[in-house]
Amino acid sequence: MHYTNIDFNKKTILITGGAGFIGSNLAFYFQDNFPESNIIIFDCFRSEETFSNGNLKSFGHYKNLIGFKGEIICGNLNNTNDLERLLDFNFDFIFHQAAISDTRVYDQEIIMKTNVNTFYDILDLTKKNNATLIYASSAATYGSMPSPQTVGYEKPENPYGYSKYAMDQIANKFYNENQNLRIIGLKYFNVYGPREFYKNSTASMVIQLGHQILQGKAPRLFEGSDKILRDFIYIEDVIQGNIKACNAKQSGVYNIGTGKPRSFQDIADILQKELGTNLETEYFANPFDGYQMHTQAEISDSMDDLGFEANYELEDGIKAYISEIKRIYEEEIK
């Protein structure tokens, strides 16, 4: 599907974090729809290193790229020599998805170095190439701000959220000084869909609950999950947002969500319907203090300036995803 009138054929496209969830979906979008585009993926790929919380330091996985025909550079944003490899190309579009995205990593130094310091390098590359830059911001910048979460009213509550907040400020200064460039930040809300499995414990509730159910286990939810609401957005709509951002009326930061929050209980119930099960739900006490009970993207600016509007209701997204949830279960878990 072509979400914009831009012809990406013959264009050179950089996707950082291209072996990750959103990056790999972007890569296949261009490959499938613009077969003459020149796609370069830059990703450090998965290592066995973990943070103090036990989660992997990198989630990029070769299995997300099986069938990809473009160029791949294994490199780390923090490595100057790796970044220098990108100077051999003349990029038309840069999709900057690479980051430490684990909200429960509290090592501020590594997050700020990886997410913030390297952003200056990406901006320099954008300027050198006179490219269009679309970068991943995050709804984590809002912290526990009341719904609907609105750009310009942020209050991050963890190092990851703060790093994305800092990136937005840096981008704002940069495009005010370089008004010939188009630089768009996208604040993703709760994204789910194919190619997220290798994020392990940070993958969405949709696939985690889906696999619980396929194992014959009752889905496990926090007590009161019918009153915990999130703005869940299907990966296809996130790709749409990235593509339409290339044609934005002006540089800026925009929310990418549905604007329609749904409960944790809704996810479990829709999954059971799609999987043909009728298991009880197992509830347990929420162990987190200050847990955010409601997120909802304010998307009027995204609609006006990007032409973005989510096409997938939660029911539609889970229905589209269900065959992949089953495939992953059969091949990776069972």
Just list the catalytic residues: 160, 199
Residue 127: φ, ψ to 5°: -65, -45
Tokens 């009880």 appear where?
Answer: 280
Neighbours of 143 (CB within 10 A): 17
State which H helix or E strand residue 229 sits in: strand 229-230
Q: Kindly report the three-state secondary structure assignment for every residue of 64-133.
A: HHCCCCCEEEECCCCCHHHHHHHHHCCCCEEEECCCCCCCCCCCHHHHHHHHHHHHHHHHHHHHHHCCEE
Classify the C-alpha dihedral 157-163-168-169 as positive or negative.
positive
Tokens describing residue 265: 């209980």
Report yes or no: 271 and 213 within 8 Å, Cβ to Cβ.
Answer: yes
Tokens 């997120």 appear where?
Answer: 295
What amino acid occupies position 314? L
d(CA 296, CA 185): 18
In the chain, helix, strand, coil percent, each to 5? 40, 15, 40
d(CA 119, CA 113): 9
Considering only CA atoms, which of 235, 232, 255, 234 is closest in space to residue 306?
A: 255
For 260, what's the count of Cα atoms within 13 Å in the CB-facing half-sphere? 11
